[in-house]
Amino acid sequence: MIYLYFAAGIGLTVALQMVQAPRKRLAIGALLAAILLLGPLVNGNDATLNVLADAGIYIVLALGLNVVVGYAGLLDLGYAAFFAIGAYAYALLASPQLGIHLPFWAILFIAAALASLFGIVLGAPTLRLHGDYLAIVTLGFGEIVPQVFQNLTKLTGGPNGIAALDFPTFFGRSFGQGSMPYYYVSLGAIALTLLLVRNLRDSRLGRAWMAIREDELAAKHVGINTTAVKLAAFALGASFSGLGGVIFAAKLSLVSPDLFQFQLSVLIVSMLVLGGMGNIAGVVVGALVLTFVNGVLLPQANTMAAAVHLNVDFGQYHFLIYGAILVGIMLFRPGGLLPNRQRSEELTNPQAGTS
Amino acid sequence: MALLELHCISKRFGRVSALAGVSFAVERGELLAVIGPNGAGKSTIFNAITGIYAPDAGSIEFDGARIDGRPTYQIAVAGIARTFQNVRLFTFMPAIDNVMAGEHARLRSNLFASLLHVPGERREEARARERARELLAFVGLERVRNVEAGSLDYGSQRRLEIARALASRPQLLLLDEPAAGMNPREKASLRDLLQAIRARGVTQMLVEHDMSLVMSASERIVVLDRGEKIAQGPPAQIRADRRVIEAYLGAGA
Amino acid sequence: MHQFLAQLVNGISLGGIYALIALGYTMVYGIVELINFAHGDVYTLGSFFALTILAALGVTGEVHGPMLVADIAIAALGAALLCGIVGLLIERLAYRRLRDAPRLAPLITAIGVSFILENVMQVWKGPSPVQFPSLIPNPTLSLGALDVNVKQLVIVGLAVATMFALQVFVARTRLGKAMRATAQDRDAAQLMGINVNATIALTFLIGGALAGIAGFVSGVYYQSTWFFNGFGAGLKAFTAAVMGGIGNLAGAMLGGFAIGIIESFSTWLIGGQWSNVVVFAILILVLVFRPSGLLGESRPTKV
């Protein structure tokens, strides 16, 4: 059943990318929506829905990072930090830890705002650095945040984190232990994110981002305040990550620092690289493929290996796979699986894209 | 009061003095050309005006307000646009998007309007697209509006850059060697375009090597040599000026 | 006072390791403008290689007498050689093609290589820290209020000696000049007849070798090694390289010592769990306020 979901998700997204005719696209979209909305009512396997909810959260993150990296061209290697901020916001505002119990829906907004605030604080002094250095600075931030959460033991529970987070409620009914409500919440988050990101892409701001990527000097000469525009991308991206963090924490009912390490930031970057930076459909596909590999393929491979008495744990090869994907894609298909024409040119052609 | 006034502008790069005490003004509505042998400091003047760097000494006033030292984007918003010596288009964006990007300073939609695609933003986008089409038509590129900028031929790219510059509805347009690499027919077309721009009320300042274009298109000429202004005046006067002739050593068309 | 000096010595020793790694970072960045993310992992590889070599030599604890020198030489040179080759291979297979691509591409590739190396090492020696033989006996020399351990002297001496050797190599030899020329203007260097590919390969070889030596030294000093060491050490060494001015060899060395001292003191004064935060905060501050480093090489930007 889970294979069907992923196949439908990936296949129909690719189809949306390829097909131009509006009526056909509507049909594809409707089909996809039908499968996603009605599927769980037909077969509500909890483990499946859990993986799918995770996939949904990753899609939101990937779309958010796409705004920063794909649209504005800023390499952020510390995206997990904002995810952590969102997650810990939920853990602190909806658990016995501080005795505060704000509603889940309110915290979604609070965390998004908080994350974007941190995005502005980090971005304001650093966005004028060029490519490599900005990447390292964001990496540094990505290291500092979980470490701080780990160190402030009294507040954040230290290395053990905070557990027993509140269940969200919807019109009085608690989400309970099951994964289905989180599945639908993450679908809603995806829909919202898709809408906002698509609006941005086709707007004055989206053009400004593209202009900066193409030729920052010329962009300044048409009146684009490049610092402010980059900051907007950074803060927006951070807010999506924070949003995802809240859903993640609520679903897991637990947060701890080891969940938000550099590997997570790289995972999201890998999703963009694999799927196609700058391309909404590509990014979604990248997220789905990698979540599928992590959540379905590798565990399945382990089960099969155990069945033939092969003592291998495929789970420990995560990073080899990400690494191979990053290297392979960069060498052979830098635009990703579903490249965005402009972006893939920039990644291969040294003349394009000046800073 | 002149539209643009340069007072005693000096600029050094390391030990090289690119500009030394250059002063002149650009009057509203005119087409002023800045000429001089290579290394005279012509591009440096443009770069100083648009804020790529601040002059070491002196001041630049635009429409009565000082602009030297201000960031480039603010100067653009204030009403100065430019084209570049090496065409700097947004290569992989379609021509019309290039021009729409040029309108950035004149559009109002902020972050939230963009995020939510409110009706006001949609209307503004539609109007921006209309204006961009008009400008493309003005420079004769209407038919290639959806072609990627980088795919256009050289002459078209230059005209596109001018369209993009005009998109911000500048009071002053700086053109950095717009005729470079053009054949005679393209140059004649360019001259017509410059006149058409003038008819629209845009003041223009031109850095150019092609003397026939300079002599026929401009009303006034400023001559720089090794960072200093050595002459200024109408074309006929400049043509006969001994210092100018010496500076060029008889070279130049 | 005694504690202060002890921490200082501690920091300098730690800094020596960082210095060796930082030299590799700064050399590579100077010549191809790439942050070789995988460099930290080559350092860890160095300790793994050294461990394997020592095991093959039958070393399990301390060694005394002339065998000690031989063992050190074999392990150190072996690690250096193997890591140099690894550096070479990485450049050839992963980076060379992307040399002219916009900086995003090689940086992402470097991260990918780093991940691959880390995973390989994790599978090789396991996910937990591994014991490393002590090798060098541990007498402590007392110099007044200062207690210095032989290993610490060895590390510092090695770092300083290496840096001087490198300086001489870069300044005096033909290959060194080729490296400097390529770093300044690759096309011009090529037109002058310099084999740019070989020069860049040589840089990666040297960088890798230095990391390998650092890995061996670190294994001996801490008597343990761990597949994930390279990540943190690499970042800190990179901080050191940036602090000293990227491309500046002396700066990388001094930066390495500085970071080592800072880490040592912050561990002592505010606790080990904050030392990473301190170092990374310094990284951010340096990059924001003085990206050309404290001893920087100023590179004027052209319009």
Full-model pTM: 0.89
- The pLDDT of residue B126: 92
Query: Chain C: which residues have CB within 8 Å of chain B?
Result: 300, 303
Closest residue on chain C to B51 (Cα): C303
Q: Which helix (H) or strand (E) holds A154?
A: helix A153-156
Q: Is A171 helix (H, G, I), strand (E, B) or coil?
A: coil
pLDDT digits (tens, 9 = 90+) for C228-286: 989 989 999 999 998 888 888 888 989 999 999 999 999 988 888 888 899 999 988 88
A324 CA: distance to closest CA in chain C (Å): 6
- The pLDDT value recorded for residue A14 is 86
Which of A224, A345, A346 is the closest to B104 by Cβ?
Answer: A224
Strands B172-176 and B80-82: parallel
Alpha carbon of A198: minimum distance to chain B alpha carbons (Å):
9
Tell whether B52 lies on the interface with C, counting CB pairs under 8 A: yes
Distance (Å) from the alpha carbon of C190 to chain A's nearest alpha carbon: 18
Task: List, as one string, the DSSP characters of C32-79.
Answer: H----TTHHHHHHHHHHHHHHHHHHTT--SB--THHHHHHHHHHHHHH
pLDDT over 50 (residue A177): yes
Q: How far is CA C165 from CA B61, B77, C250, in A?
A: 56, 55, 11
C140: its two tokens: 């402590």
Flag if A222 and B168 touch (Cβ within 8 Å): yes
Which residue of chain A is at minimal alpha-carbon distance from C290? A129
Q: CB–CB of C109 and A316 under 8 A? A: no
Phi, psi of C10 (to 5 degrees): -55, -50
| ipTM exceeds 0.90, yes or no | yes
For chain B, 253 residues long, give each residue's pLDDT as a single digit of tens. Answer: 889 999 999 998 888 888 988 999 999 999 999 998 877 788 899 999 999 989 999 999 999 899 988 999 999 999 999 999 889 999 989 999 999 999 998 888 777 777 887 778 888 899 999 999 999 999 999 999 999 999 999 989 999 999 999 999 999 999 999 998 888 898 999 999 999 999 999 999 999 988 889 998 999 999 998 888 889 999 999 888 888 888 876 554 4
**pLDDT for C298 beyond 80:** no
Sign of CA dihedral C249, C282, C260, C216: negative
How many residue pairs bridge chain A and chain C with CB atoms within 8 Å of each other? 132
- Chains contacting A (3 or more CB pairs within 8 Å): B, C
Is the Cβ of B91 closer than 8 Å to some Cβ of chain A?
yes
Q: Which residues of A touch B97 (CB under 8 A)?
A: 207, 210
Chain A: nearest CA to B127, how far in angstroms? 12
B65 compared with A348, residue with greater pLDDT? B65
What digits encode the pLDDT tens for the residues C4-15?
888 888 899 899
Q: Is the pLDDT of residue C303 over 50?
A: no
pLDDT value at residue B139: 93
| pLDDT tens figures, B116-134 | 877 788 888 999 999 999 9
Q: How far is residue C152's CA from residue C248's CA, in Å, rounded to a whole number?
A: 25
CA distance A249 to A53: 12
Q: Do A347 and C105 touch (CB under 8 A)?
A: yes
Domains of chain B (ranges; CATH) run 1-79+170-253 (3.40.50.300), 93-165 (no CATH)
